Amino acid sequence: MDNDEARAILAEHLGSYRALKYEELALRIDSIETAEVQAPSGVRYQLEVRVMWDHEPNSDVRVLGSVDDGGWRAFRPLNDDFIRAPDGRFVGE
């Protein structure tokens, strides 16, 4: 798996979640959404995004994304995440 390509695919995919308002993310709490994307190189990547409360209900929302190519990286996928506060700001950025 090309780690740079996989990170770029994941960043692009998480970008659609970053564009959502806090309220829209909160509606997706406890969801796991999956997708498969073919990169320009022809490699097919599996993406998984989990949306959860960061510490306690009705507080910050954490969005955790992972990507792998279905090979051995499926056991240890690349991950990235962000946290959105109720006031709409991104925590820690």
What is the number of structural domains in the chain?
1
Residue 91 lies in a domain: no
Round to whole Å and give the CA distance between 41 and 20: 29
Residue 38 lies in a domain: yes
Residue 92 lies in a domain: no
Other CB atoms closer than 10 Å to residue 54's CB: what's the count?
A: 14
CATH number at residue 29: 3.30.1300
Residue 89 lies in a domain: no
Identity of the residue numbered 76: R
Tens place of pLDDT per residue across the chain (93 aa): 789 999 999 999 999 999 999 999 999 999 999 999 999 999 999 999 999 999 889 899 999 999 999 888 888 999 999 999 999 999 988
